[in-house]
Amino acid sequence: MEADPSYREQTAVPQPTLDALDISSAPVIAAAADYPDYQLVPPHKHSRSQLIHALEGVLLVRADAGRWMVPKDHALWLPAETVHSVEMLGNVRMRSAYVLPGAHPALPEAIRVVHVTPLMRELLKAAAALPPLGPLDARDTLVNHLLLHEIPRLSERPLALAFPTDPRLARLCREFIASPDAHVAIDDWAARAGMSRRSFTRHFQQETGLSLSRWRQQASLFAALPRLAAGQPVTTVALDLGYESVAAFTTMFRRMLGSPPRTYGIKV
């Protein structure tokens, strides 16, 4: 995968922590890093699995399997050896935990966005303040131990955006992302793809794993979150995405993320 050259580059995490990932046998190593808006961490991978959390700002993570949006109060789980890049949408305060493969039997096997509980947020902050190569006292060891055991308990959120490989469907999806419309109709897309409604519905589901309605909602979130993080009013974002009212947009947003859009930006 290639990085967008228009973004500035910065090392993924402080260098001592990168060294520690290969040196240390500790089950968990945490790190802290702050990034300005538009910063890019170019494609790279780690020998450990990674839980990436932004205390502030929004992350856009790209890998061969798709794209994932990581807003406030969320984190992304990346299995070990996953090549990925990270773009910063807004000023970002990042906290990450690097976990040895097999350190816990219930660790996720695939990339996923998860909701970060208040407990996990504080554990990540505390763990990131610890020396990566130790030594750790009893309290510090317990912090890392509890962090490890809390990861499998984090609930998944629908913030992955799959792209179809069929060029007809991919073109329609790219056009939607460039200009989202909450009222897109299956019949219109089917006709533009040269398919029957039934064939289009089946093919789109096979290609993305989602119905068009569900995919459209997730794509709308992808479009909305960076704008909210940049401070745009919820009303403006909702109307620009084609929603007839802020209430309809808020209902969709709350259903998908469990909280209203004002949580991620400024008030209506």
Sorted by where each begins, the domain ranges of the chain are 8-157, 162-264
pLDDT tens per residue, range 214-239: 898 888 887 888 788 778 899 999 99
Question: For residue 85, what pLDDT is reported?
Answer: 94
Superfamily of domain 162-264: Homeodomain-like (1.10.10.60)
Structure tokens given for 80? 């070990």
- Measure the CA–CA gap between 224 and 238, rounded to whole angstroms: 8
Beta strands in the chain (DSSP E): 8-9, 28-35, 39-44, 49-63, 66-70, 74-78, 84-99, 112-115, 156-157, 160-161
**What fold, for 8-157?**
Jelly Rolls (2.60.120)
Choose among 261, 267, 180: nearest CA to 215.
180
Nearest 5°: the CA angle 22, 26, 28 is 95
Question: For residue 157, what pLDDT is reported?
Answer: 85
Amino acid found at 185: A
pTM: 0.71
Question: In the chain, which residues have pLDDT < 70?
Answer: 1-20, 265-268
Pairing type for strands 160-161 and 66-70 reads antiparallel
Amino acid found at 176: F
Question: For residue 98, what pLDDT is reported?
Answer: 95
